[in-house]
Each structure stands twice: as C-alpha cells, then as structure tokens.
Amino acid sequence: MPSWLIILLIVLAVVIGLLVLLYFAGRKLQKRQAEQQSMLEANKQTVSLLVIDKKRMKVKDAQLPASVTAQIPKISRNMKASFVKVKIGPQLVTLFCDEKIYDSVPVKKEVKAEISGMYLMSVKGVHGTKIIREQKKKGRFKQALEKAQEKAGAKPIK
C-alpha cells in the first residue's frame, strides 16, 4: 500500500473523529442553552425604566458589582458584550443586553422592558409609542454605489 494512501486514510479518520466530536458537543451545548433560555423566560419581569446609555465593552470594564464579576469565567471577562445603563426607580443599574434587541434600544427614553435578573430581554415603548430603529450609517462604498445608480437613473437598493 502506498504511503500517501496511508497518510490520506489517517487524515480522513481524524477529520471524521473531529466531526463526530463536534456534533455531540454541539448537541450538549444546545440543550444547555435551551435550559438557560427557559429559566430566563420563567424569571422575567416587566418594568419601566429610563435608558441612560448603551455600549459594547469588555465585561471587566463595565463597572458591574464584584459579586457578578466573580461569577463570570476568567476567559469571558475579556470578551466584549452589550451593556445598557438604566435607571430603575431611584437606582442606576448596568444590565447585560440581548444582541438581538441592542440596536432597537432607544437612548435617553423611558421604556417598558422585560428583564430577567441583570439581563435585558426585550423593550417596548411607553404609552403605546413605537420604538423606531436607529438607521446605521452607510459606508463609503454603499454611498458611492447609490450616487452612481442615481446618476444612471436606476432605483436605489434598500
């Protein structure tokens, strides 16, 4: 048997082994995430709060209480996360924010929000007002493309 074929079979076996390992690890992580999500849903509360500021920053720089920072794994402390600084009643609190709703959280506005512990899950406007998503700034390439299309008489792409 040629040596290149033996090497190819060994590499193929290692790749298949890694794929099987990743499959089972992924299933385990999915189950854990589903349990955590159900726990968040069970503990959520609707509160009225004033959003002061929102930022994406490292967990260690977020000025969280020492008890919260101690519970976060050391590897995760240097990762960036979304934080929202809010005023709930008389006190100022820094909350973790769900990435899905981070862009729709209005700054310097009062909102009704669903929170679970220190985790902001969703926001709604107060008194029936709709929350308007902030439009992202367009990059230079997109601006140049729109100008070229406008000159050519084509309809702009949204």
Q: How is the chain split into domains, by residue range?
A: 1-42, 44-128
CA–centroid distance for 120 within its chain:
11
pLDDT tens, per residue, the chain with 158 residues: 889 999 999 999 999 999 999 999 999 999 999 999 999 999 999 999 999 999 999 988 888 888 888 888 888 888 899 999 999 989 999 999 988 899 888 889 899 999 998 899 989 877 656 666 656 677 888 888 888 888 888 765 65
Q: How far apart are CA 40 and CA 31, in angstroms?
A: 14
In the chain, DSSP assigns E strands to 45-58, 80-88, 91-97, 109-116, 119-125
Say what the pLDDT of residue 150 is: 85
Contacts (Cβ under 8 Å, ≥6 apart) of 95: 83, 84, 85, 86, 115, 118, 119, 120
Are 95 and 41 a contacting pair, CB within 8 Å? no
DSSP string, 60-84: GGS---HHHHHHS-TTGGGSEEEEE
Spatial separation of the C-alpha atoms in residues 54 and 82, rounded to whole Å: 7
Enter the CATH code of domain 44-128.
2.40.50.660
CB-based contact 101:122 (threshold 8 Å): yes
Name residue 57's beta-bridge partners: 81
pTM score, whole prediction: 0.65
